A and B are shown apart, each in its own frame.
Chain A
């Protein structure tokens, strides 16, 4: 099936840029050969820039070079120990000295890494060959094998006509292996190991065997292949015991310095794969080398109203920060600008007259600084492809040589990444050879559920810092200004480059990802570009190899196998519990089940075998879902073994973590224990992924069925044992149960008593389970508001004297399509209900808020709803409020209207009766400027009522009546629109400040009736002014602080910032209030 053939490259005339439109699903990992000479670009033909200019730039860049090599390295009198970061392969001529026997093209593994001293390393590994297995047809002798080899070689020739390899199928060997699938009584069976010349040939060979091949005496026969879907680099890692990000040693004398340096690395050499020493990440080798991390950001000058396009819009600035892993400050800060730019303190500003120079300076910079990891925000989808496509548009063929391999161009291709867990995402894959890309946006999207992924809101969330946001429509204006305005832009650009680095440090991504790579054994780059299953597969393959097992390449069955029953959730008894609720949790439930019942591919007995094999009942487990697995005395499963190792390693890491003093060691260990936990939990998912590498629904459905049984069992035991009949004070009641936890109300009034009973119950029930399934008691909720399945809130207690925090699940505190009002209201209500235990207070708070909303006293920023504009209006099938608004804004002013990819903030305004909600959306700024009344009813009905009722229904009898109807909903104020049609005919007249009666004499403030209340009414006006002044001051000085300058105006238009609209509104309200106050000065 995978007969997709890549057109062979026309030699000597390489296309300027290779673009592969390979739509790759996650699970369809294909090897793709890169030919060493294919992408080579002749240096001689390179258009060199003015030599002098180059030299001056070179001297500026030279100070950031890597440390020079010491003598032992120079003379090759010491071995090389380095931490590898990236492993790939190229096709080149096989090494004549190292492999004297072979000739022609071969796959050469390339390992890039860094030594302890900070030297960059490129290691070419020779002699490792791609291979896979098929099961050997019975009765095949050595002669048959060589015959089979011949036939296969012929068939392969037909497919790979242009190949210059003398022998496509190098060897066919008979080996003894066993398939991982199903329990088998026999020890091993004959398999054929097919060794091919190049990695891509694995795929074509598999295709041939899949379709079937004519063999004498056997006729047409098709074969199931084994391990034919393992990427070549991963295959190498598995066979050499190399895990992602570990240390590799090449002993002295075992490597040969490359005759001609193919890369820009300081140490480049060739060696044989059998000479590599791979160190397990323990002790000294658990450390992390001083990687160079480049964080960068670019600015483009877009045209008015359009998102920048590489074919039109220039790159005007590139800001770079380089940090050594383990240090807290970057050692390089610079910015490259198009046109002059005023200097910036502590930053190397490099200005150029042409874009070409900017781009080439950046390329030179990359080459000199030689970063191991490139980070940034959205660099994979935007910055890197933009730079490359821009260089293409400008005709600078020498630009995209950013990798570590000399004269090799960076390649861009579109990929679609789809995974059950992360959904489908389109992205561009830019391969920069030898450098790992780590796009913080992708990481955030993978690891965190956030309401918005803009750099601003992410930094607000994690760094508690707002980011200044300059709208792209003014970037061009700043660029076209003077050196000062460009400096302003550069400062902004630098900040955008710095934030990803700070996020990386703060969230310990380097540690966590390196550890994840080490635990799962995949290269670091796989962690971001691929899904979960490759990680499990890598572990499975490693383990299988030890056990002489081979893994079949199962045809993608799609969803044919159907789904299975998921985890169980006990019926939630909704209510507000004012007595402590103890929570009994199963510790790592699914992994424990797999271990306890020995669930694995290799322990599963087929229904057929159940009948045939006559297994003794004490040797098998029949799972609640009806499957049969053998117990570990007959055959120990390898999944349980992997899990045991993972959990044992986690225990060890946690113990070491307690002992560790050095913060860097701690970071490594913490990253490791986290990686181990995640890995253990993803094994179950791997068996259930129907489009995965090796789905086995028998396992996953057995796991969930055991899980269900255990929850039910726990409920039964708790309710049987803890009763007044059994000698306890109260009857225990299970109020709710989720996937791996059960909530019990023991009826006791204090947290301490509930904790004691919880512990007792956990111990008692654990005793009834098979090891290592264990029920743990961890926490008590008190009070506990149970709304429905998967929705609850409560105060969480782990010690009897003080609660730890408020814990909520499934409640509108972080939904992205709600306005801030909902979040604030819900949070505040829960706070009042749970912490203050003040139900009337919470009700009053809701009423006040509703009244404020109806009286138009609500802060507008709380009402803003934000949605991302993913495509243009025509592409949406249903009319959506934000899309309609974007259209309308484009008609108003194309320059500031949101574009595809932007987030569109809007509020719902009052409009003609019967107007649809999507017609009533409006730009908050426009609303502020034009005094447009918002529609409080919409917010009341469509935004706040549901979440509120959900919370209050378990507490109040007539929640809806109590909260949403009543006197507080009666007074409604409608502000007058200032520019609607009818108002153009209205005449403005002054009215009395006291009673709104019209006054004829415009010198006066009050009508004659209100004259006596002058002092009171004045106080009211002036207090209003005073409040606004207070707010005005706080808001505007905050923005000054955020932008980091006192003497410059605030430019920021970040609509993600919570105070953006407030600041605008304060400014406008202030002006109005001041006018009002001035009326008193008659």
Chain B
């Protein structure tokens, strides 16, 4: 009690905001594996997005007829709508495991599977056609996107593409009036508690900063304006080698549960003061396929007792004071990075918004639940903030849509390696990095 006296005169009140969770689409509850295949999600996607694209055609090229792949006639200009499929020479296949000769040299796993011989085809229910032309670059596009193409069939039976129409950004609700106060949202990802590379002190500093236990009064007053913390995946690293089905020796049991306990303790500290959303990532003890389901509450016996603690899906969609947030733990962008090319990660993010689809490569190269009647990755509502976790470095940019939409794009770096968290001001969507160092330098 005595210690509290020091703070009494400057007792700061933490700001608050109205939170609304909008993850329904990403939840898998009643759905089961009943032998369904992936064709259904493609089918649902095609139907959904084709209807959308058809509605855009009158404003694009109203004079052109619309065809199916089958209805193509040689030399006749028209528009076709369908799902893209990219033939890739270097794409790793599960069948390679069975290839007759095991090469003596170890297989080099390339980071990127793009090859100059890659080509695109467009598929609808009626068939496939090979795409050619200089407009549609195979290195940019990936399997799974639905687009409208203007062009004509060549003598060789291919489709010569003249122009492309993508779905574009959906409509955006207006940002709340700018008169509001500064309110901050902290994004962090790749905490990797329990990993050899992560520094426990760094995370503690972050927690202390958020909870206002760090720095002078000014700094604390900024901390008081933090209204939400979002952890975008890979919070904990559990040794996978231990989970091979054998019963664990008690020594190993603790080895496994230790990092989770440690995480829980730190999260409890945050949750005690600030609302906290935690999303699962590729290395977390969660399922693999997108959408990843919330981390189980039994992993967080401490923090889960606070009502400020929310375990969410990945992807995650929520609203704070009418500002809309959409984010993933990074798998969607990392997969695009393997199967296509861009100058930076933000460009991949822009593309997914323009394609109106967070994860086009699911299910082709990105694990995904075999939905039967819907495609939850279709972006129905335009977010104001779009974040992606577990990236190499912090990057951000403001993207503007054709209808005046404004979206803040954020790549959140891996905290465990960089010591960087990202802070966003909801008032003006401005964004800066928060860096923690634990080296004592003179």
Chain A residues proximal to chain B, CB less than 8 Å: 342-346, 460-461, 464, 466, 803, 805-806, 827, 831, 835, 857, 1013-1016, 1018-1020, 1022-1027, 1029-1030, 1032-1038, 1040-1041, 1044-1050, 1058-1059, 1067, 1070-1071, 1074-1075, 1077, 1080
Q: Which B residues, 351 to 404, have Cβ-Cβ distances below 8 Å to chain A?
A: 363-370
Closest Cβ of chain A to B396, distance in Å, is: 31
List of 7 A-B pairs having minimum Cβ-Cβ separation, nearest first: A1026-B288, A1071-B33, A346-B157, A1033-B367, A1029-B288, A1029-B289, A1019-B285
> Is the CB–CB distance between B104 and A1037 below 8 Å?
no
B contact residues around A806 at 8 Å (CB): 104
B248: Cβ under 8 A from any A Cβ: yes
Beta-carbon contacts of B245-263 to A below 8 Å, as 1s and 0s?
Answer: 1001000010011001100
Contacts of B72 in A (CB 8 A): 345
A942 to B276 CA separation, bound complex (whole angstroms)? 59
B285 and A1047 form a contact (CB under 8 A): no
Chain A residues within 8 Å of B260, by CB: 1015, 1019
Assembled-state Cα–Cα distance A1045/B46 (Å): 13
- A803 contact set on B, CB distance < 8 A: 104
Given known A-B contacts A345-B72, A1020-B243, A835 and B104 have beta carbons under 8 A apart: yes
B20 interface residue (CB < 8 Å to A):
no
State how many angstroms separate the Cβ of A837 from the closest Cβ of chain B: 13
Contact between A345 and B69 (Cβ–Cβ < 8 Å)? yes
Chain A residues whose C-beta falls within 8 Å of the C-beta of B440 in the assembled complex: none
**What are the residues of chain B within 8 A of A345 when measuring CB–CB?**
69-70, 72, 127-129, 157
Whether a CB of chain A sits under 8 angstroms from the CB of B415 is: no
B75-105: contact bitstring with A at CB < 8 Å (1 yes, 0 no)?
0000000010100000001110111111010
Q: Which range contains the number of B residues in contact with the other chain?
A: 35 or more
The residue that A1033 contacts in the complex, of B95, B100, B368, with Cβ under 8 A, is B368
14 A-B contacts, Cβ less than 8 Å apart?
A342-B126, A1019-B299, A1023-B240, A1025-B288, A1033-B368, A1038-B95, A1044-B128, A1046-B144, A1046-B364, A1047-B46, A1058-B98, A1059-B98, A1070-B33, A1080-B296
**Interchain nearest-CB distance for A827 vs B (Å):** 6
In chain B, positions 296-353 with a C-beta closer than 8 Å to chain A are 296, 298-299, 301
**Segment 238-290 of B: residues with Cβ below 8 Å from A:** 238, 240, 243, 245, 248, 253, 256-257, 260-261, 285-289
Question: Which interface residue of B32, B69, B123, B298 has the most chain A CB atoms within 10 A?
Answer: B298
User: Does B298 lie within 8 Å of A1036, measured CB to CB?
Assistant: no
Contact of A1030 among B46, B98, B157, B367 (CB under 8 A): B367
Interchain CA distance A1023-B253 in the complex, whole Å: 15
A805: B residues at CB distance < 8 A: 101, 104
Q: Contact: B253 with A1016, CB < 8 Å?
A: yes
Q: How far is the CB of B39 from chain A (nearest CB, A)?
A: 5
In the complex the two chains form, what is the Cα distance from A466 to B101 in whole Å?
16
- A1067 pairs with B33, CB closer than 8 A: yes
Interface pair B100/A1047, CB less than 8 Å apart: no
Query: What CA separation (Å) do A1067 and B33 show in the bound complex?
Result: 7
The interface residues of chain A lying within 8 Å CB-to-CB of B69 are: 345
Please give me the residue from chain A that is nearest to B33 by CB atom. A1071
Residues of B within 8 A of A1032 (CB): 289, 367
Rounded to whole Å, the gap between the CB of B82 and the closest CB of chain A is 9
> CA of A647 to CA of B245 in the docked complex: distance in angstroms?
62
Cα distance A1049–B102 in the bound complex, in angstroms: 32
Q: Is the CB of B363 within 8 A of A1033?
A: yes
A1019, B128: Cβ atoms closer than 8 Å: no
B43, B93, B104, B363: which contacts A1047 (Cβ < 8 A)?
Answer: B43
The one of A1015, A1029, A1050 that contacts B299, using a Cβ cutoff of 8 Å: A1015
Which residues, 32 to 48 on B, are CB-close (under 8 Å) to A? 32-35, 37-39, 42-43, 46
* Complex-state Cα separation, A1067 to B35, whole angstroms: 6
Is B289 within 8 A of A1033, CB to CB?
A: yes
A1033-B363, A1038-B95 known; 12 new pairs, CB 8 Å cut-off, are: A805-B101, A835-B104, A857-B245, A1033-B289, A1033-B366, A1037-B38, A1040-B364, A1045-B39, A1046-B85, A1047-B83, A1050-B37, A1080-B296
Q: With A803-B104, A1016-B253, A1029-B367 as given contacts, are A1038 and B37 in contact (CB-CB < 8 Å)?
A: no
Whether the pair B287, A1022 counts as a contact (CB closer than 8 A) is yes
Indicate if the CB atoms of A1038 and B94 lie closer than 8 Å.
yes
**Bound complex: CA A582 to CA B403 (Å):** 76
The yes or no answer to B125 lying at the interface (CB within 8 A) is: yes
Once A342-B70, A1035-B94, A1037-B38 are accepted as A-B contacts, the answer to whether A1029 and B287 lie under 8 Å apart by CB is: yes
Q: B37–A1023 contact, CB under 8 A? A: no
Which residues from chain A contact B83 at a C-beta distance below 8 Å?
Answer: 1046-1047
- Is A1025's CB under 8 angstroms from B104's CB? no
Contacts of B104 in A (CB 8 A): 803, 805-806, 835
Q: How far is the CB of A858 from chain B (nearest CB, A)?
A: 13
> When A1033-B368, A1040-B39, A1047-B83 are in contact, do A1019 and B238 touch as well, CB less than 8 Å?
yes
Query: Known: A345-B157, A803-B104, A1077-B287. Is A1018-B299 also a contact (CB below 8 A)?
Result: yes
Instruction: Please give, as numbers and ranges, the residues of chain B lying within 8 Å of A1036 by CB-CB distance.
Output: 37-38, 363, 370
Neighbouring B residues of A1077 by C-beta, 8 Å: 287
Cα distance A1025–B33 when bound, in Å?
12
Interface string of B33-75 (1 = CB under 8 A from A): 1110111001100100000000000000000000001101000
A464 contacts across to B, CB distance below 8 A: 95, 99
Establish whether residues A1023 and B33, one from each chain, have CB atoms under 8 Å apart when the complex forms. Answer: no
Which residues from chain B contact A1033 at a C-beta distance below 8 Å? 289, 363, 366-368
Which of A1018, A1022, A1046 is B39 in contact with, Cβ under 8 Å? A1046
